[in-house]
Chains A and B, each alone.
Chain A
């Protein structure tokens, strides 16, 4: 049976979501998205030139992808809501990744304003995916507000510091029933794999792919890592033990026996 992630009525098989900032060209971004077979792609609405005087970023996103506009630049719920409505009005669909940030130093989200925006937009039939600091009580409130998934950060955006918030994210994964998607801070495919191993539904990666010297291969590497992590999660990871364990404790004598033959 196919292992599909269901969000907003869509069935998604690729659990690597990709962001579109920081690439050295739209063409390279497109090649990377194709190489990872991206199905969900986030775009800052502030970067979209709807009038399309020149190159339009949307033309470089594979047609079958789900476009998830984000509210980058919003400082409060009101601004995020207005950006979301503009995104919908411009024909970018009804998915929205809410980003509400007032602190440009750490780019950490404002959970309270994010919650407010989620409450409003979910009622307007948006598929709302809020970017958040990993906090269980806020995650629960986001669920109640109608979020389609929650997107806790692994570490600050663009920092490539990896899954520093693992303990908190594991708690959220264990406790809430909607998809948990780690967004931000992942620098290496192994970190993306780790997110999947602990039961996250997906990850979102941008900087680590975009500024790699070979984004096409890096995108592919992340995709493979996400697949591996997901497969491991489904298979069930073996428990961690403090001491060594022989690999065939019950039948080892047979092997020993053969050795004497």
Chain B
């Protein structure tokens, strides 16, 4: 059994029609129903629910406080490498893009770690482009050996691994996995991932389950908003998160829903997702899964991030750079491109001040490697 079995159950249903047919009564009663199932999620994501956004938001805010308190977990991404074997139409690291490729040396990792650590952050997300050859598991492990001297929690966002490889990296000190399916619709997935190992939809889809079996403690799934109709995509992501919560009750599950941003390349974003839609997504996911971690990307503007906070956000990145060695390393410029453009460029200090102003405690450390 894998999540794919669940996905198959729903993928051929006329979801658009089902969503459009949700009555305003059904949308309203989904807010405080005791039954947490696919019908509730559809009702919360439906066009009819747009009329209840304020009421839904109140409920989402209350649920978030019950489960997470008035706190926001802070972390930052650290890019190790931008070598990539894939050709994702929407990504700055696309193998076809004519950009300089680089990988941090272990010295460089130390330098970046020392800088990020000096900002007070304790949770870090390490990222690579998806090249098993240029950033193999052995390299990731070497980096983790260094990083665990600086950080309490290390998550990875790299190419999908085998269960044994996950176990090895976890043994080394990794506790979290972020892996976005990007788009759950198989046909669109096939189309936007033009070449490379990432074309294997199932291997990616099942990665969280392999990591959970390998002993991971946190899993973050995600969709890239803009590749397909958002309601459909968030529906499948929500069910994926629930499936993982039910199957692995000792693993914390989180979700992200970054909107596509401009990047080096000529990809046109196919589907529009408005700020209002983003708000509905966060609210719907919170009500559907009250203990789901929800993070908010720096792709969004500082103003929008602040407004969305109380609707259900539990984690935020701060002081972000999406470049390899972006904090301390001067690569012979011209060509160290970011994976995507950041909109909220505020430092850790600025984000902490903003959170305090809004009545949230910035949580820098919430993990212990034992």
Contacts and interface: CB of A to CB of B under 8 A. Distances in A.
Interface of A: 21-26, 44-49, 53-55, 73, 75, 79, 82-83, 86, 101-105, 158-160, 207, 210-211
Contacts of B104: none
A54 B120 contact: yes
A68 B68 CA distance: 21
B361 A25 contact: yes
16 contacts: A22-B71, A23-B69, A25-B356, A25-B361, A26-B361, A46-B366, A46-B367, A48-B365, A53-B120, A53-B364, A73-B367, A75-B250, A104-B252, A104-B291, A160-B66, A211-B70
B370 A49 contact: no
A46 B367 CA distance: 5
Interface residues of B, number: 30
B117 A53 contact: yes
B365 A49 contact: yes
A46 B365 CA distance: 7
A98 to B, nearest CB: 14
Contacts of B356: 25
Given A22-B65, A73-B368, 17 more contacts: A25-B356, A44-B366, A45-B368, A47-B363, A49-B364, A53-B117, A53-B120, A54-B120, A54-B364, A73-B217, A79-B370, A101-B250, A104-B245, A104-B251, A104-B252, A105-B245, A210-B69
B58 to A, nearest CB: 14
Contacts of A83: 368, 370
A171 B210 CA distance: 44
Contacts of A54: 120, 364
B62 to A, nearest CB: 9
B364 A211 contact: no
B67 interface: yes
B70 A104 contact: no
A159 B66 CA distance: 7
A1 B251 CA distance: 50
Contact of A21 (B69, B250, B367): B69
B122 interface: yes
A207 B356 CA distance: 19
B70 A24 contact: yes
A46 B65 CA distance: 20
A55 B152 CA distance: 15
Nearest to B364: A54
B360 A24 contact: yes
Given A49-B122, A53-B120, A103-B249, A211 B366 contact: no
Nearest to A159: B66
B359 interface: yes
The 8 closest A-B pairs by CB, nearest first: A22-B69, A24-B70, A54-B120, A46-B368, A82-B370, A103-B249, A102-B250, A211-B65
A100 to B, nearest CB: 11
Contacts of B217: 73
Interface in B249-299: 249-252, 291
Contacts of A44: 366
A108 to B, nearest CB: 10
B364 A102 contact: no
A26 B352 CA distance: 13
A158 B365 contact: no
Contact of B250 (A25, A104, A158): A104
A23 B366 CA distance: 14
